[in-house]
């Protein structure tokens, strides 16, 4: 059982694969997070990030039905909202601008996911 390491954090999930999105949401909610989404396209992700939602972080798949997530990642970065890539893409394919972004490959381990997300959002909360 996962500890509630994400208690109270508000996280956006951007993922286009139904079963992966369901697993992500269930894992994050079990760890105490309030989850927005899942969102399955870049346009909607950008609406949420640019809107009135208060987010502590985001979990992003890189490829959403052939559309790359990078515009939303850039918007998150500009708003100082931390995020983690959870993707089937190879780490080497991530653009240099996001070289320091936490990354988990699919399939992911649920405990590792919670640990990486918690570390990422806490780092922002401390700064």
Residues 6+ apart with CB under 8 A from 125: 56
Q: Is residue 70 part of a domain?
A: yes
- Quick: pLDDT tens for 12-31: 999 999 999 999 999 999 99
pLDDT on residue 127: 54
Q: Is residue 4 part of a domain?
A: no
Residue 2: pLDDT above 70?
no
Q: Is residue 78 part of a domain?
A: yes
Range of 23's domain? 10-126
Split into its structural domains, the chain has a count of 1
Q: Is residue 2 part of a domain?
A: no
* Longest alpha-carbon distance in the chain: 36
The domain that contains 55 carries what CATH number? 3.40.50.2300
């Amino acid at each position: 059982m996962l500890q509630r390491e994400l208690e109270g954090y508000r996280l956006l999930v951007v993922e286009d694969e139904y079963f992966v999105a369901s697993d992500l949401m269930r894992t994050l909610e079990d760890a105490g997070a309030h989850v927005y989404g899942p969102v399955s396209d870049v346009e909607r992700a950008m609406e949420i990030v640019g809107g009135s939602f208060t987010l502590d972080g985001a979990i992003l798949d890189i490829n959403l039905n052939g559309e790359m997530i990078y515009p939303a990642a850039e918007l998150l970065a500009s708003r100082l909202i931390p995020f983690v890539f959870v993707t089937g893409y190879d780490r080497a394919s991530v653009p240099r601008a996001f070289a320091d972004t936490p990354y988990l490959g699919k399939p992911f381990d649920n405990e590792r996911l919670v640990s990486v997300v918690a570390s990422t959002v806490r780092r922002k909360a401390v700064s």
